[in-house]
Structure 1
Amino acid sequence: MARQKPRAIVVADHGRPQRPAIGGAIAGWGGLVLGDAGRGLRHLIAVEAERRRTFLWLPVAFGSGIVLYFLADAEPSLWPPLAGALLAALAAIIARRHRHALGVAVAIAAVMAGFAAATWRTRTVTTPVLARPMIAKLSGLVLGVDERPAGPRIVVRVASFGGLDASLRPAHVRVSLRPGASVKPGDFIEATARLLPPPTAARPGGYDFARDAFFAELGAVGSLVGKITIRAPPEEPDAWTALTIANDRARNALTQRIANAYGGQEGALAAALVTGKRGLITEEANDAMRAAGIYHIVSISGLHMALAAGSLFWAARALLALWPAIALAWPVKKIAAGVGMAGATGYCLFSGAEVATQRSLVMTLIMMGAILIDRPALSMRNLALSALVCLILRPEALLGPSFQMSFAAVAGMIAFSVKPSGRLVGAGAPSSGALGWLRAGARWAYLLITTTTVATVATAPFSAYHFQTFNPFGLFGNAMALPLIELAVMPLSVLGVFASFFELDRPIWWLIGQATVPVLASARAVAELERSRVIVPAFGVGALSLMVVAILWATLWSTVLRWLALLPAAVGIAMAYDLTPPDIYIDRGASGLAMRAADGRLVILGKPSGFVLEQWLRADGDGRAPADPSLRSGARCDRLGCTGRLQGGQTIALVRDKRAFPEDCARADVIVSPLPAPPNCKAPTVIDRRTLDRSGAITLARSPHDMGLHPVHALPAASRPWIVGGRPQQPHASVGPPRTATPPVTTAPSSSQTTDPLDAVQDAMDEDGGRELNNDAED
């Protein structure tokens, strides 16, 4: 029956009919619209439930519990979230006949389970973290070696370090060696090491290398100095360690073989594409690929796993189809899926089983496993299962750009490239002849453009939040590079690994090197375009959270409900642009600071590391390079320190010698120093060594209400296992471990100056942290 329109409200005036009253018309139509909207919303939700889309929100609830864990003020106990999850699960069983109550109970159970998983993960990886910088004798077993142009970088399982007790000694450390040093996995080494606790964030809200190092079970980072002595290990490693060492040796040998087969950066890129060892690629080539939006190709992650498993799947299915007896009698497709799963697992183990590789393996196994049970391989449910498994295994991955960007990209591509029936958008019956080839080519180009565009839009919020960059020409970079990677490099890689068992692989590696020539050339061409890398100011977690809600809402629903995502997206973008940038950035060790001068741009005082300075400039939306001379204009420095004037007229002093305190405390509005300030310092704002030990890096922003400078700290007030700076420590001057019967060699800065031989190590570790962040994001 047709829906009747609301009746007009008519009043009589002298016997003549009048026009409907405006208020009555609005009320009538409003009631109809709201009633229709309510019924339409209920219908859409029913459609989503019928399509079983509500299951997709289960990993979202699980991830919310993980986020709550990391927001805790102190390390929580394990039993409350476990008890909460069990009670909620029991409530779900009781309320299983009531749909809404069941949904609420399941959501609460998932949140509690995520909280418990993160708590348990922290307990299982907790190992000692070096409490303070040290220089001492290090001995241990080399587990892995990464060759780099600047010198090898190794991971060592520590046997002894400077007489530290086992309860204080890091279990694993990562150290850099000088160029030309020859160390292999499995060597037991002794050398003098300069070690530091893993550095915390360079600014509040910035990348926290210390947290990532904690979950990687790295208790310190640094470098080796002097002679390296290789000895026989005191005991034979266990079977798993021996397998890990042998695997890394094989990876390094294959990396060198591939790189030498062609040479240059093309050979280094070819090696990285096969083994995942990226150390031979120079920063110039890395920056070009990042600007072109194709750096993800050098990480053994989703693309590599999909292509490797897909190549094995296709090859196995094609070979089995050659025999009609097998093709007609056996489940050839399922056998090929099993071959692809086995190959993907072996590739993950060989490539080092990094976190991103493990995540990609889980996704690949679930996708291939769907074929075994006759389900669509590419579906949002499989992606949700992959996310859930990955978060159970590595809850901390949720906070990293690698997890966020990869799942956002895949979710976006599935949501907008796959119909609810499971068929690809644009897919149809193949045509024969030249017209068929043209249609196939057009369809492939359409899918490439749309999927790349969707992936770029889906990952843009995370790229802007973590790196303050956006690559607008990534579509062109991927369009030029991906066809070569998909059609040439990965199929040849499978063939090359097989041929390496017969020492017939060198020509294949040379061909892969040839294929990487246009890849690097196109990346450099795109990188040279104006504004190929746009710097955007850093925004807060609130804006990112709204954008994440928008991405989830747009991808996890399949009906027109997804268009409601425009509201949180618009609010999040508005919040990201409505920023009040800090007036002062202060390094975690007060080696330098950045202040906002009268012209509104940053000026540098002191000598912050290149990575820290780059982080400050990006966070401020400043595209200048760290070496730009304009960054030093307006600063006045001498042997005792530096001074400058802020945009608001206040004076700031960076005190590097205690003799400068009397004058600067009397004249400056803000005192910053890596030394303990005297108690009688009368400056309105004093940030010294004691403050930085508790707070880490600090920013100060002027409040629009009282025009005072208000600090924001990088470290929370409470201590967590990965925060060394949040725990009570001895003053910085007492560098070294507690006194022992045989004290190790240690160094400490003088009481008047901050000339510390560990400063260079800190700078190097900051640079490593920057590369770690970039690599993690592109994995």
Structure 2
Amino acid sequence: MQDNRGKPPWIPRSAARAAAFPLAWGTAAGWPLLDGRAWLSKALAREIEQRRLFPWIAVCFGIGILLFFQADGAPALWAPLGAFCLCSLAAIALRRNLTAFVAMIALAAIFAGFTAGVVRSRTVAAPVLTRVTIAPFSGFIEAVEDREEGKRLLLRLVELKGVAEAERPHLVRLSMRRGAELSAGQFVAGTARLLPPPEPAWPGGYDFARDAYYKGIGAVGSIVGQVRRLDPPAPPGWRLRLAASVDEARNALTHRIASAIGGAAGGVGAALVTGKRGLIPEPTNDVLRGAGIYHIVSISGLHMVLAAGTFFWIVRAILALAPALALLWPVKKIAAIAAMAGATIYCIFSGADVATERSLIMTLVMFGAVLVDRPALSIRNLAIAALIVLAREPEALLGPSFQMSFGAVAAMMALVPLMHRKHGEGASGSMLDRGLRWAGQAMLGLVTTTLVASLATAPFAAYHFQSLNPYGLIGNALALPLVSLVVMPSAVLGVLAYPFGLDRPVWQLMGTAVAQVLELSAWVHGFSGSTLVVPALGASALVLLAIGLLILTIPTSALRWVAVVPAGAGLVLAAAPHRYDVFVDRDGAGAAIRGSGGRLTLVGRPSDFVAEQWLRADGDARQVDDASLRTEARCDGLGCVVVAGGGRRIAFVQDHAAFDEDCRRASVIVTRLSPPPSCRAPLLLGGEALKERGALTLRFGLKTVEVVSVRKGREVLPWLVAETAGAGDGPARERARPRPPVPEQDFPEEEFSSDEPG
């Protein structure tokens, strides 16, 4: 509390009682231990004393971002911005009242998050292709990624024949099987088959279209025929030249590392340094996922901390060799500046991907705390990093990378005070005893932090990837010492030696360690049940578990025990997932229907990627080529029929001739065609309905059917109304003029794949 020298006092700690409940719990019954007001007042006073209210600003900022993404249409900017200003002014005016002050700060943070979402969406707005297009193109290559099956290009379009300039995407992502040697910065022309960035395969699934929008990518596709290199009509801008130069340097170093090491270890080693993962064989990716250590090939927090830590240690050790420098100069701060510079260069050279930028911000905040003599590892610094990241990229809040990285770091930071209390024990004894105790404490710390991080990230992994790796603790415990002590220091030394041409022995040393990591991963991956496919976690369960994690990690008082309530409720919801009965593709190319046996049955010709997403969402570990996926469907040249639970007949119609029978006998008809007006099926989902809704799911009840779609959200349609609907328009019926069948299309899997790890 401030003194009374003419200045109004700031918020007194005793005012924490004003935020407590007005009545004590249990005092009327004579139970002093259940005095809720006294307990909460004491806890809040401790939170204020430890300055633990600040991290909740980042939480409120995130709530505002979530509200923005729930809004319909394009929200106005003046509304959230004006509300933010009003709440900020109110907070200043009410600063003497703790409850009012905290409430206004929380509201201001919420409106600030909403404002950040509006500003970001308007900043990155760019044309998006609206239809499948096959047309000649020309443009500059911004980035090239070599893959086992060919190349993948990020192209900045200059011309797309048949598409007006106002509708032409700025950036497109193209794949090609084979072709001429291409490099970033070249101006090329050819013919491409382009399609709009695909929406989720099912409501709640990975939204590639949203990620592409915020990356500025307006179309994806593949190159048809040959690519020609041409002279550019005008010199490229400096941003393009810089991006091309960095990408070329990354590709050159990627091939040098891969060739020096060789095999799968070469692809992994190159990915650790440059972020280019295209040379990693897919079986190797599966092995790393099964061992729970796939995160090591995605440059994120672990790599950034290890790289920055290596720079910090090297600089500090060199300066400490000179006693005069060590005594007169702030060696630690100089080493921190060197680590910040090294981490920034590493981020730029590794491609400055979204996850890498977030990790860089976290690292800069941590070392910035060292420069101002503050603890580097604190929840407050983590909240500052989260605010900076979310202010720049609000959409990151919805992705697994942000959720898992910040969740894991927050959970591990909650253990730091406990671990510090252990370090002071056992300082005496012989050198051998001290060494053994240090090794034991280091191993215990590694196992403990890995376990905590695994538990903290498990809900997010179940929600986004529908998979869990129960042996990840073993995999990380075996692999991370090699990565931390050999691989990443070798990577830093190799980059420093690369300009001198003395890097090959360093890469070979790193490759030996990477090969050992792969062998350990293969051993762990061989365990029975190394990868568990679980049903998709519901949004409600994820929110409750996330709230539990926040309450457990942010408070420093007994308030953290309140986390048991939301976490317990989230676990109950997660243990009883509410599965969907029918999955329908966005364009009606196929569907997955739960048969009478209780498992999904595939009909039609959905792409392998879409079918895999459906199976994983249902917790089904079968592969898309499993013959049992089609056994319950009765199919002919006109379509398929599956008998679902309750004896309901689900018809998938591929020819107009099938409507005559299916409209009379089926409970649900799914088709990409336009059904005849005379069709009397209780629930009819035709081409126009799918175009309006996008990919959708059905969940059957006794008297209702729940329709959840990507574009329209949740709809509950009564069966009785649907069954008695006549020729007029109804909520579950589509009326359109018949038209000839639409030929089925298969899209390449790589055009729909996610860039996220895991």
The two structures share one fold, judged by TM-score above 0.5? yes
Pick which of 83-92 and 669-678 moved more: 669-678
Corresponding position of 2:655? 657
- Could you tell me how far 1:674 is from its partner in structure 2? 1.4
- Could you tell me how far 1:34 is from its partner in structure 2? 6.0
Corresponding position of 1:371? 370
Corresponding position of 1:172? 171
- Could you tell me how far 1:37 is from its partner in structure 2? 3.3
- Could you tell me how far 1:160 is from its partner in structure 2? 1.1
Higher RCO (CA-CA < 8 Å; seq separation 6+)? 1
C-alpha contact 2:26 2:35 (8 A) present in aligned 1: no
Q: Distance in 2 between matches of 1:87 and 1:203?
A: 40
Change (3 A) 1:764 1:636: farther
The amino acid across from 2:692 in the alignment is R
Change (3 A) 1:535 1:33: farther
Identify the match of residue 542 of structure 2 among 536, 541, 544.
544
Q: Distance in 2 between matches of 1:429 and 1:101?
A: 49
Corresponding position of 2:267? 268
- Could you tell me how far 1:683 is from its partner in structure 2? 1.4
C-alpha contact 2:140 2:187 (8 A) present in aligned 1: yes
Q: Distance in 2 between matches of 1:544 and 1:277?
A: 31
The question of 1:755 aligning with 2:751 is answered no
The amino acid across from 1:404 in the alignment is Q
Q: Distance in 1 between matches of 2:252 and 2:638?
A: 51
Corresponding position of 2:10? none
- Could you tell me how far 1:90 is from its partner in structure 2? 0.3
Pick which of 255-264 and 651-660 moved more: 651-660
Corresponding position of 2:90? 91
Corresponding position of 1:714? 710
C-alpha contact 2:179 2:226 (8 A) present in aligned 1: no
Corresponding position of 1:102? 101
Q: Distance in 1 between matches of 2:589 and 2:519?
A: 39
- 1:8-27 alignment, distance < 5 Å: none
C-alpha contact 1:536 1:621 (8 A) present in aligned 2: yes
Q: Distance in 2 between matches of 1:203 and 1:594?
A: 11
Q: Distance in 2 between matches of 1:535 and 1:66?
A: 30
What's the % identity of the aligned pairs? 50
Alignment root-mean-square deviation, CA: 2.0
Change (3 A) 1:132 1:45: same
Change (3 A) 1:309 1:28: closer
Q: Distance in 2 between matches of 1:315 and 1:27?
A: 60
Q: Distance in 1 between matches of 2:427 and 2:291?
A: 33
Corresponding position of 1:198? 197
Q: Distance in 2 between matches of 1:430 and 1:29?
A: 52
Query: Counterpart of 2:150 in 1: which secondary structure?
Result: coil
- Could you tell me how far 1:580 is from its partner in structure 2? 2.8
- Could you tell me how far 1:667 is from its partner in structure 2? 2.8
Identify the match of residue 464 of structure 1 among 462, 465, 480.
462
Q: Distance in 2 between matches of 1:607 and 1:424?
A: 60
Query: Counterpart of 2:168 in 1: which secondary structure?
Result: coil
The question of 1:570 aligning with 2:558 is answered no
The amino acid across from 2:76 in the alignment is S
Corresponding position of 1:481? 479
- 1:764-779 alignment, distance < 5 Å: 764-766=750-752, 768-769=753-754, 772-773=755-756, 775=757
C-alpha contact 2:426 2:437 (8 A) present in aligned 1: no
- Could you tell me how far 1:638 is from its partner in structure 2? 2.5
Identify the match of residue 692 of structure 2 among 694, 697, 706.
694
Query: Counterpart of 2:199 in 1: which secondary structure?
Result: coil
Q: Distance in 2 between matches of 1:755 and 1:375?
A: 65
Q: Distance in 2 between matches of 1:424 and 1:392?
A: 36
Q: Distance in 2 between matches of 1:418 and 1:256?
A: 44
Aligned pairs, how many?
A: 712
Query: Counterpart of 1:137 in 2: which secondary structure?
Result: strand
Q: Distance in 1 between matches of 2:33 and 2:330?
A: 54
The question of 1:561 aligning with 2:559 is answered yes
The amino acid across from 1:532 in the alignment is S
Corresponding position of 2:351? 352
- Could you tell me how far 1:488 is from its partner in structure 2? 0.4
Gaps of 5+ in 1: 1-25, 719-730, 734-749
Q: Distance in 1 between matches of 2:435 and 2:169?
A: 60
The amino acid across from 1:711 in the alignment is V
C-alpha contact 2:288 2:521 (8 A) present in aligned 1: yes
Structure 2 length as normaliser, TM-score?
A: 0.91
Change (3 A) 1:430 1:336: farther
Query: Counterpart of 1:317 in 2: which secondary structure?
Result: helix
Corresponding position of 2:231? 232
Change (3 A) 1:664 1:50: same
C-alpha contact 1:129 1:169 (8 A) present in aligned 2: yes
Q: Distance in 2 between matches of 1:667 and 1:696?
A: 26
- 1:134-283 alignment, distance < 5 Å: 134-179=133-178, 181-283=180-282
- Could you tell me how far 1:302 is from its partner in structure 2? 0.4
- 1:648-687 alignment, distance < 5 Å: 648-687=646-685
Change (3 A) 1:347 1:430: farther
Query: Counterpart of 1:115 in 2: which secondary structure?
Result: helix
Query: Counterpart of 2:743 in 1: which secondary structure?
Result: coil
The amino acid across from 1:714 in the alignment is V
Corresponding position of 1:591? 589
Corresponding position of 1:612? 610
C-alpha contact 1:659 1:752 (8 A) present in aligned 2: no
Query: Counterpart of 2:260 in 1: which secondary structure?
Result: helix
Corresponding position of 2:49? 50
Query: Counterpart of 2:645 in 1: which secondary structure?
Result: coil
C-alpha contact 1:292 1:473 (8 A) present in aligned 2: yes
Corresponding position of 2:643? 645
The amino acid across from 1:86 in the alignment is C
- After the TM superposition, list the runs of 4 or more consecutive aligned residues in structure 1 that deviate by more than 4 angstroms: 26-29, 422-425, 427-432
Change (3 A) 1:427 1:640: farther
C-alpha contact 1:139 1:188 (8 A) present in aligned 2: yes
Q: Distance in 1 between matches of 2:161 and 2:289?
A: 41
Residues 294-317 of structure 1, C-alpha deviation per residue, up to 9 Å, x if partnerless?
011111110111011100011001
Residues 604-662 of structure 1, C-alpha deviation per residue, up to 9 Å, x if partnerless?
11111111111111111111111111111021222322222112212122122233333
C-alpha contact 1:151 1:181 (8 A) present in aligned 2: no
Q: Distance in 2 between matches of 1:140 and 1:686?
A: 44
C-alpha contact 1:543 1:576 (8 A) present in aligned 2: yes
- Could you tell me how far 1:165 is from its partner in structure 2? 1.2
C-alpha contact 1:370 1:376 (8 A) present in aligned 2: yes
The amino acid across from 1:286 in the alignment is N
Q: Distance in 2 between matches of 1:349 and 1:539?
A: 35
Corresponding position of 2:129? 130
The question of 1:514 aligning with 2:531 is answered no
- 1:438-453 alignment, distance < 5 Å: 438-453=436-451
Gaps of 5+ in 2: 1-24, 715-733
- Could you tell me how far 1:234 is from its partner in structure 2? 1.3
Q: Distance in 1 between matches of 2:740 and 2:281?
A: 40
Change (3 A) 1:494 1:470: same
Change (3 A) 1:427 1:291: farther
Residues 544-600 of structure 1, C-alpha deviation per residue, up to 9 Å, x if partnerless?
111111000000011222111011111111112233311111111111111111111
Query: Counterpart of 2:239 in 1: which secondary structure?
Result: helix
Query: Counterpart of 1:485 in 2: which secondary structure?
Result: helix
Q: Distance in 1 between matches of 2:121 and 2:480?
A: 38
- Could you tell me how far 1:190 is from its partner in structure 2? 0.9
Q: Distance in 2 between matches of 1:764 and 1:383?
A: 35
Identify the match of residue 625 of structure 2 among 595, 606, 627.
627
Query: Counterpart of 1:338 in 2: which secondary structure?
Result: helix
Q: Distance in 2 between matches of 1:536 and 1:439?
A: 40
Corresponding position of 1:18? none
Q: Distance in 2 between matches of 1:610 and 1:92?
A: 54
Pick which of 31-40 and 324-333 moved more: 31-40
The amino acid across from 1:81 in the alignment is P
Residues 743-762 of structure 1, C-alpha deviation per residue, up to 9 Å, x if partnerless?
xxxxxxx9634335xx3335
Q: Distance in 2 between matches of 1:35 and 1:635?
A: 60
Corresponding position of 2:292? 293
Corresponding position of 1:115? 114
Change (3 A) 1:184 1:552: same
- Could you tell me how far 1:35 is from its partner in structure 2? 5.9
